[in-house]
Amino acid sequence: MDNKTFFDRKFIFLSGKGGVGKTTTSSSIALGLSKLGHKTLLISTDPSHSIGHIFEQPIGYKEKRIMDNLYGIEIDVRAESKRYIDGVLEQARQTLSPIILEEVRDQIELAYHSPGAEELALFDVISRFFTMEERYDNFVFDTAPSGYTLRLLSLPKALNNWINRLIKTRINAMKVEYYATRNPDKKLKEKLEEDPVLKILNKRKAQFEQARQILLDNKKALFMFVLNPERLPIEITRDSISELEQNKIKIEALVINKISTDNSKRSLKEKEYIAQIEKEFAPRRIFKVPLLEEEVHGIESIEKIAKVLFNGGL
Ligand SMILES: Nc1ncnc2c1ncn2[C@@H]1O[C@H](COP(=O)(O)OP(=O)(O)O)[C@@H](O)[C@H]1O
Ligand SMILES: [Mg+2]
């Protein structure tokens, strides 16, 4: 399979620790796909909002056209999550009494603040794109699932237990309230069906399940790791990959980024690490990206890297 075909996956995720080149690589892949005529959305969830910097234009929380076939969006996960909670509470405010509202607020906050609020909010953001598949040919996620989110996704049982527990807690609370009410206006069953909190929890449960299906489908999803030719990143990558793969999420490719091109002592050492990576992580696809002389800024550097990744075939 050539590289163009390899990258043509609906959802592409790049993982790796900070500073290795995830933003650079995801921007390059997105640019490459757009040049092949694919309508591509590059999604950054990095709070430092670096894709605007790379493409030298402001990109906000709404999808923005960067150039032909290439669109970008920068999402502030924390703000999104707050917006979402506020929206839900507003909805609840219209249908519930103030006392119950307080309790509902606690439960919604609980749903959003455990375990790993940030990761869950990030997950919400990601899974929202899973429901708009037809709008773009490819979605490229920069700084997408942090290791923790991936782990969360790869543990459907724990997630399921957790959300089921929240659902149970809510049902119990509603039962207690129902039986304490003298002349309830509706049957309990009806109340449960209409409850906004249960609606949300059930929606989240369905979302988790759908996301899991997509992530496990390697015709749709591609996971890649970015690393540099150094000792420590190799170890981190090894651990992350084995953990994810135990949970059936396949890491199909590695990008070794910032490879020195001179003949320094450092370069010799890097060659050893590269050989080690190629051997250890075979048969995964390995992309080798040189350390550019200039700072990555502006479209030219991204174009160079895209050429390397797509085999000079753009
Ligand atoms: N191949 C490369 N050549 C030169 N500089 C690079 C290369 N890849 C990344 N950089 C630089 O390294 C820094 C970190 O890259 P970035 O893509 O932001 O990493 P991450 O998103 O993983 O934190 C940036 O300043 C970027 O310009
Ligand atoms: Mg980044």
DSSP 96-125: S-HHHHHHHHHHHHHHHHSS-HHHHHHHHH
Tell me what pLDDT residue 193 has: 92
The average pLDDT across 282-295 equals 91
Q: Is 221 in the pocket of ligand 1 (CB under 6 A)?
A: no
Domains in the chain, please, with CATH?
3-74+222-309 (3.40.50.300)
| pLDDT of the residue at 74 | 92
pLDDT, position 254? 96
> Hey, what are 230's tokens?
């150094």
Contact 71, 64 (CB under 8 A): yes
CA torsion angle for 17, 20, 24, 26 (degrees, to 10)?
-40
Distance 21 CA to ligand 2 centre (A): 7
Q: pLDDT tens-digit profile of 148-207?
A: 666 666 666 666 777 788 889 889 989 998 998 888 888 999 999 999 888 888 987 888
In ligand 1, the atom with minimum distance to the C-alpha of 27 is 17
Tell me how far apart the alpha carbons of residues 205 and 127 are, in angstroms, rounded to a whole number.
12
Q: Give the CA diameter of the chain.
A: 84
Q: What is the DSSP letter of 45?
A: -
Full-model pTM: 0.84
Kindly identify the ligand whose nearest atom is closest to the C-alpha of 24.
1
Q: Can you give the pLDDT at residue 38?
A: 98
**Model confidence pLDDT, tens digit, residues 23-63:** 999 999 999 999 999 999 999 987 776 899 899 999 988 99
CA 54 to ligand 1: nearest atom: 27
| pLDDT at residue 111, rounded to an integer | 61
CA distance 289 to 257: 5
Residue with tokens 């059930």: 202
Q: What is the pLDDT of residues 77-94, one digit of tens each?
A: 778 777 766 776 776 676
